[in-house]
Amino acid sequence: MPETLSALAKALEIPQITILRKAGILPPAPEANELVEQIVHETSNMPEQDQQEILAFIRMKNNLREKGKKK
């Protein structure tokens, strides 16, 4: 069964952990964690430079949000 679920996750292009949760093998994740898992899945096969650029973008967005809170 794990091989089937893994193949299904790959075919659907979604994180394997999502399939395991939907199948009831793992407990449901809080909504925020599911989004993080999707981001990790989408970036995992990217070159390191692309991953670093995405991380820099996330940090920039966080900095802008923090500056907006201080005003």
Separation of alpha carbons 62 and 68, rounded Å? 10
16 Cβ contact list (under 8 Å, min separation 6): 5, 6, 9, 10
Q: pLDDT tens for the chain, 71 residues: list them.
A: 778 988 998 899 888 888 888 888 988 877 777 888 889 889 989 999 999 999 999 999 999 999 888 76
Reading the block at residue 66, the tokens are: 């923090």
> In the chain, what is the straight-line distance between the N-terminal and C-terminal CA atoms, in Å?
54
